[in-house]
Amino acid sequence: MRRLLRGDGALGCAVKGKGADGFRTPLRRGAAGLVALAAAGAASAQEATLSSGDTAWMLVATALVLLMTLPGLALFYAGMVRAKNVLSVLMQCFAIAGLITVLWVVYGYSLAFDTTGMVEGEVNLASFIGGFDKAFLSGVTRESLVLGIPESLFVAFQMTFAIITPALIVGAFAERIRFGALLVFSALWFTFAYLPIAHMTWAGPGGLFWDWGVLDFAGGTVVHINAGIAGLVAAIMLGKRKGWPTTAMAPHHLGYTLIGAALLWVGWFGFNAGSAVAANGGAAMALLVTQIAAATAALGWIAAEWITHGKPSVLGIASGAIAGLVAITPAAGTAGPLGALAIGAIAGVGCFFAATKLKKVFGYDDSLDVFGVHGIGGIIGALLTGVFASAAFGGAGLPAERTIGEQVLWQAAAVGVTVVWSAVVTVITLKVAGWFGGLRATADEEQEGLDLALHGESGYNL
């Protein structure tokens, strides 16, 4: 792995051979896997060969992951709010996509994936965050390659992950946050929560979670736990919606929500299978286990709902499918079909009770259950990755000389760091965002609806 960092042409051996950590491919360690390590050294960039097949697949995968936010997540959330707030949620998702794209180009890619100063086994500042060597995509050219694909494509693929993560948080404070505060919060949270966790997990040897041997193939900690904890903290800090929980706040258009969920499901194949950064057997297995977990969790959720409430719902089956997709995300590169069945079943039932019972017990108004689905689902998936990566359950195998228990402990350590990191950053960034015109819409604006009050438009002209 260090040879690869120096760019001495070891890329092919590192990817195809068995590494020192006991994996047949380092990409099982994370979505970015070896980040831009090939491009980091001129020799690697010169010796690497473009794979047209891998490039074609990654072009498709990148489009699929963007589809998850626009229009997938936007529609999923828009259908669950009241009619007077439908445009506000759509606007927030679109605006975040634009904002994070620009920030990713300016400094995001560099802070997440610049490996300057990283030393395997040594904890220093570079273990937590990258530098600015890649700011404004410096050195990213038509010729620079990463793992056999253009580095520009790798940049775009990782950008789509950065876009959807803060967009997920929107659901926690839907119907009550001011638009200006949302933009400030999203920019700050992306900078101080998303980028460090992504760097620790995926930037390669020397990254904190990487050196711990944490398995997070496509973003269980980086995306879902990170966003889920932020959503919980934000929901508590902004307070409950006016009238919640005594006033009925039913979703205004479950058709939108189901369409959004379906687009998320399809897009997730790019999210997980694309994280192999290759068109190979690893990508194919990631796609298969993604489908299995989503289907199993959807059935698990409505089974629990049917038993508890007497009827299975459309919102329930959509939410269950998302819960399964969330939970399999960190395990997609290591779990087999048996593991996917187990992870899906546990996530479907677990997230159902988190979204319906836990919220009532503690009294927080997580509008669209960001914490219940992404936070809890992400934690379930991250911990169970340590179990079902084991070859005993049909997985790809644990790091050399580790037991299931040891791997689960390291997974739990990463979960703990992510929870604390995200919570602290969220508190601080929300307070700062509140300086710019206040965090929360006024009572009159909330009563009128954010569509008219903040954007001067209505989703429905009846």
Identify the weakest region by mean pLDDT among 119-123, 156-160, 270-274: 119-123
* pLDDT greater than 70 at residue 6: no
**Per-residue model confidence (pLDDT) at position 216:** 98
**Per-residue model confidence (pLDDT) at position 444:** 96
**Per-residue model confidence (pLDDT) at position 162:** 98
Q: What percent of the chain has pLDDT over 90?
A: 87
In the DSSP assignment, the letter for residue 398 is: P
**Per-residue model confidence (pLDDT) at position 459:** 94
**Per-residue model confidence (pLDDT) at position 158:** 98
> Would you say 35 and 195 are in contact if contact means Cβ atoms under 8 Å apart?
no
* pLDDT greater than 60 at residue 313: yes
Q: What angle do CA 67, 227, 432 make, to 5 degrees?
A: 115
Q: What angle do CA 83, 85, 90 make, to 5 degrees?
A: 110
* pLDDT greater than 70 at residue 39: no
Q: Which residues of 342-370 are buried (b: 16+ CB within 10 A; e: fewer)?
A: bbbbbbbbbbbebbbebbeeeebbbbbbb
- Split at pLDDT 50, 70, 90, the class of 49 is very high
State the chain's mean pLDDT as an integer: 91
- Convert the pLDDT of each residue in 132-185 to its tens digit: 999 999 999 999 999 999 999 999 999 999 999 999 999 999 999 999 999 999
Q: What angle do CA 178, 180, 181 make, to 5 degrees?
A: 65
Q: pTM value?
A: 0.92
Q: Which helix (H) or strand (E) holds 146?
A: strand 145-146
> Would you say 273 and 283 are in contact if contact means Cβ atoms under 8 Å apart?
yes
Three-class DSSP category at 360: helix
The residue among 292 and 44 whose pLDDT is bigger is 292
> In angstroms, rounded to a whole number, what is the distance separating the alpha carbons of residues 355 and 96?
25
Q: How many CB atoms lie within 10 A of CB 199?
A: 29
- Split at pLDDT 50, 70, 90, the class of 400 is confident
Identify the weakest region by mean pLDDT among 41-50, 141-150, 301-310, 430-439: 41-50
- Split at pLDDT 50, 70, 90, the class of 8 is very low
* pLDDT greater than 50 at residue 423: yes
**Per-residue model confidence (pLDDT) at position 47:** 46
The pair of three-digit structure tokens given for residue 221, joined into one six-digit string: 């900690």
The pair of three-digit structure tokens given for residue 88, joined into one six-digit string: 């506000």
**Per-residue model confidence (pLDDT) at position 18:** 31
> In angstroms, rounded to a whole number, what is the distance separating the alpha carbons of residues 109 and 101?
10
Identify the weakest region by mean pLDDT among 12-26, 65-79, 284-298, 439-453: 12-26
**Per-residue model confidence (pLDDT) at position 40:** 41
The upper half-sphere exposure of residue 168, i.e. CA atoms within 13 Å in the direction of its Cβ, equals 32
- Split at pLDDT 50, 70, 90, the class of 28 is low
